[in-house]
Each structure stands twice: as C-alpha cells, then as structure tokens.
Structure 1
C-alpha cells in the first residue's frame, strides 16, 4: 500500500506545528468483547455523518479511508484484513486506530483465546485482539476507544467475569502516547452517542490536518466539552428535583432519582443532545440513567432499579426547601396567569399612560 506521510514528517514542521496530513486511514477493530453496538450507533450520526466524513463532504478534513467490518465495501476475508496486516508490518501510515470492545486478559486464557481477528498466515492460528493492539497502537497516529467497553471495560469487565477484561487505557497504560503525540481518546457510552463519537473523530481529523489543536480531555481521557457536565445538569426533569417533586413510578414526568436514576453524579450530555437527530436520551423518554458512560459501570451502579445510596439523604434535605419553593412558585403562577386589569374594551384608557413630555407647538410665518 502507498504511504501518504511518514510519522516523522507529520510529527514536526517549522514553527513547532504538526505537519498537515492530507490522507489518512481509519483502522477500526471491533473484535474486543462487545456487541458491535457502537458501530451500529455511529451509523445514525448526522452531525456529521460517517458518510460525509468518508466521502470528503466536510471542508478541511484529510481524505479518509475507513476500514470497519460492518461498513466495509469489501467481501471480507483477506481483502478486508489487508490494510490491517500492512499497518502491522509498518507499511501503512498514517492511520487512526479505533478499538471497539473491552480488552480481555490473554495471559489467563488457558489453552485457548478470548477473542481474535484473522489468522496467522503461516500457522493458521487465530491472532488475538491483544496481538493486534500490541502492533498497531504504537504505530498509530491517534488511538481512539469507542464505547464504554473499550474505554473502561464495561459489562464484560464486571465482577465475576472469567476473562479479566479491561479498558484500552488499562491495557496500554494511562500514560500511553500515540505516534502523533496524543493520549488515548476515550468516548464512552453503551452504546456511544452517535454525534459524540463523530464530533470527536472529526476534531481529531482536523488536528491531523493541522487546522485544530488536540482535543481537550479530562483526567479519564474523555472529551471535556462532551462529558464536563452531569446528566442532571442537562435533564429536562431537573427542576422537579429542585422542588423535591419525585416520581414514584416510571409513568411520571417528574424527577426519577428515587426510582433508580443516577443522573446527578453521571458525566453525560445525552439529555441535552438527544440520541438521534436531537430526539431521545434516557431521561427524556422515561428511562433512568444507569451511568453507562462512567468508569465504574456497571458494578458501582447496580441494582439498576434501586434508589442510589446518596439519593435518600439528598432528597430528604431538599424536601422542606423544595416544598416551600413549589408553594411560592404556585402562588406566583396564579398571578402570572392573570391578564393586567387595563385589558378591556371600555371607553376610557386605564393603562397609566401619562407622557411627561410633549412636543411644543410651533407657529409658521405666513409669507
């Protein structure tokens, strides 16, 4: 395969700025422990869509070659594996390495393996996901973990699992730096919110093109602008919490914290962003937040339908304040629902109109 730019060329240019990359590959492996739900979710993105990125519709982005098994136009097999094998040999760069699914511990697999991606051409033995990560991650211009399984382990890493699963940063190290000088970029979600991932990927691509700085990440390597606020801060049910008005069942439009919602402590923007085309999002459609974007998911948030431990205290403390505020607002609401008294059709003006200044009358001389 033809190389576009070497990593060394892309690393530096006069003035200390990275060289612009005009063509780049995205090697997307979803053979981690997962359901491929993140790939499926991303197909619903519209701001931007994966099609617009790949087809070069968005100005300023490098030309993108996407290699993803669900979205690939190839017939599969060795044809699909070719760019991955070339990258592992150091013959394809630059590329962004996207990992979907949690990373199993192959050191405890006994005589078998937990998950694989293709076979060794010489021995015919399966090549594990870990084998690919060991060879591709160090050569990648950027490494992106998509979905909670890849970022923090997710469902497959919960207590009692036999695979020893973990997130990509647990496997590579939280201080890992890609060949392009970037840390791992974590975009959690179970599955990932479509626009959250595509927006992040687009930022990384603009950075590769030399027209944007590196994406700002928090201490858990999440994009700050997406995960800097809590579900509660963007929830359209949040005002009910402030007024201590809580739902007792899942048919209520009120705050769901007493029936299992973890929104007040979960970093996620789904209530504000929606799920598809701005519509949906768990609390928006009657679902509780089960904290699927968080590093401690799922273990720290189960049983999902039980009230979170801190909710009983916080809801008790807010109850007297909320009851008073709700009553005062009710009184003001009654007043606000009345029209002013001067809205009438009588033959007098009662609006209080009383101009303090009137223009002086001027006389004109006759000629």
Structure 2
C-alpha cells in the first residue's frame, strides 16, 4: 500500500534457497537493535506495516501455504515488497540434467522451480533487493575456487548496475554469518526510506552500507594498540595483536569488533578469534589458508618493531611515573602543594 508520502504497508519475501546454511536467518534472530519481532509487530515508530515471509520464522506449516505470497508476487498480485536473498546464486546454465537449488514446484508440470527462476521474476518487481550474508552478497564459501556450481553473488547474477523498482541498487549486508544488528539496522533504514522518512542508505562501491563497512577491523579492534607497540601474540591464548598468527584485521572492512556480536559483546578478535575476512568480496579464496600470517604481515610487523619497542618502553616509564601520587599528599603541618595566595590584596 503506497501513499503520496511513502509506503504504508510492505511485504518482505525472504528466500534462503541460495547455496546456504540458513545461518544468516538464525543470526538475525539475535538482533535487539532492533529486534525482528519489533519490526514485524509494528513497535518501531515510523515504519510501514511489515509482513515477513521467511521459512525459518514462518508460522505456516510450509508447502503451498508458505509459497502463496511468493507466487502472488510473481503474478504482480502482491506489492510492494522487499526481496531478501540468503545464500549464493548457482549457475543453472551448467547444471547438466538436474538443478542446483530449487524453491517449490511448478504447479502445472510438478518440476522444481530453481532459485534463478524466482530471482528472475521477483527482483525486477521488488521495491528493494537486500542480500543477507556474504554468500548472497559475493558468493562466499560456495563460490570458492574448485566449486562445481559456478556460484556467485546476487550482483554478479543481476548485474552491478541493477536497480530495483524503488530505484535502489542491491543492498549488500555481508558477514558469515551476517552480524545481527548490521542486517536489522540496514533493513530498518530501507524501511524508513520506503516510508519516505529517510534518504536511500549510503553504499560503498561493493554495495555495502558505508557507515558499517567504511572502516577496518583493525580500526575498531580491542587489540589494535598492541600492534602499534609491536607487541604480538605468539599463540591463541594471548590477549595481544594477532596479525602474526593469521589475523587479516588491518585490511578487512568490518565493524564487528567495534559493535560486538550479541548485545555489544564479542566480535572475532575481541574474543581471541582471528579475522578471516568474511565480509569481503574475495572471501574465502584471498584469505586462505586461514591460520597463516597474511602476506605483508611479516613486513609490516618487522617495520613497526623498532618504533613499537621504543614507544612501549617509554610508555612503561611514564606509566610508573603516573602511578605515583604527588609528594604534597601528606598529613603534616606544612602545606607543600605550591599554593600561593599572592594575588590577594
């Protein structure tokens, strides 16, 4: 339902039949800012009324009852809607005599309807198109070298210059899985834009929300100061910088260490996990083997060592000094703080 000011009521058609583990749907159920329940139940002021169709969160028993809104949207009988894809897009042109992924069956022939069939019909009609997770955004694990499916991200399939019926490019929210609040915050922005109360979400050249992916893991990491002081972990039990043991944080665009994972707590390096670049278009191929130090990690850590070692020593000396109380803190009869009332008449 659309008014002159914006959209009053909107549907969200969420298909997770891409090459996927459904981990992104599971992840977003942990969001609290906002919670998916609050969006669907109309508890966020200013949003359109939202109808969500997601197989994991659906109250239906599945089958044709669940597929009904998707079929209606294909026929142009359900609009406006936001199309959310979870999972990478396989290349059905190389499927041989079968198919890679399907979602329901053709009602006339009984043959499986491929994911690509649905994308071809839903994406052009959608008011907005949003990807949930790295697989849908860039192909992810299923698109790595050697895969037989020819998997790709949705923008690779539809084209990077694709525009939805609402005039928006594809909105990519990567992560393996997607960080809960990252996705829900982005979806909420899209919904506010649909309502006419916000501009289009600002995206970078990889179609990621700029305010989330404009900085690197390193810039928000709890351990970043150790890098500056050339104080590096030698194993995974250390609280220090993990660049030497496989962390790609200095070159990966992701806000998870700063934002946390659930309730502001967690984030890979914050809890001892190295960053493996899961929000990046080149994941996983460009970041493997995961536990090896990144190329350039040896050079950067060697170059910073003389500076870092000196700075760490100087800061240690200053720390000792700063941990001493001033000498005028005493209970003797003479004031030694330097107080001088000479300004008085």
What is the TM-score of this pair, normalised by structure 1? 0.93
**What secondary structure sits across from 2:107 in the alignment?**
coil
CA distance in 2 between counterparts of 1:26 and 1:256 reads 40
Partner of 1:91: 77
Query: Which has the greater radius of gyration?
Result: 1
Partner of 2:218: 232
Partner of 2:255: 269
**What secondary structure sits across from 2:315 in the alignment?**
helix
Matched, 1:335 2:321: yes
Partner of 1:175: 161
Partner of 1:16: none
**What secondary structure sits across from 2:269 in the alignment?**
helix
Task: Describe how 1:76-115 pairs up with structure 2 within 5 A.
Answer: 76-115=62-101
1:137 is aligned, of 113, 123, 127, to 123
Task: Describe how 1:9-88 pairs up with structure 2 within 5 A.
Answer: 19-88=5-74
Matched, 1:192 2:211: no
Number of residue pairs the alignment of both structures matches: 345
CA distance in 2 between counterparts of 1:192 and 1:61 reads 23
* RMSD of equivalent CA atoms: 0.8
Task: Describe how 1:282-297 pairs up with structure 2 within 5 A.
Answer: 282-297=268-283
Return the offset for 1:348.
1.2
Which runs of 4 or more aligned residues in structure 1 lie more than 4 Å from their structure 2 counterparts after TM superposition? none
After alignment, is 280-289 or 347-356 more displaced?
347-356
- 1:18-47 CA-to-partner distances (Å, cap 9, x unmatched) read x40000000000000000000000000000
Task: Describe how 1:313-328 pairs up with structure 2 within 5 A.
Answer: 313-328=299-314
Return the offset for 1:357.
2.7
Partner of 2:294: 308
CA distance in 1 between counterparts of 2:268 and 2:175 reads 12
Return the offset for 1:347.
1.1
Unaligned runs of 5+ in 1: 14-18, 361-367
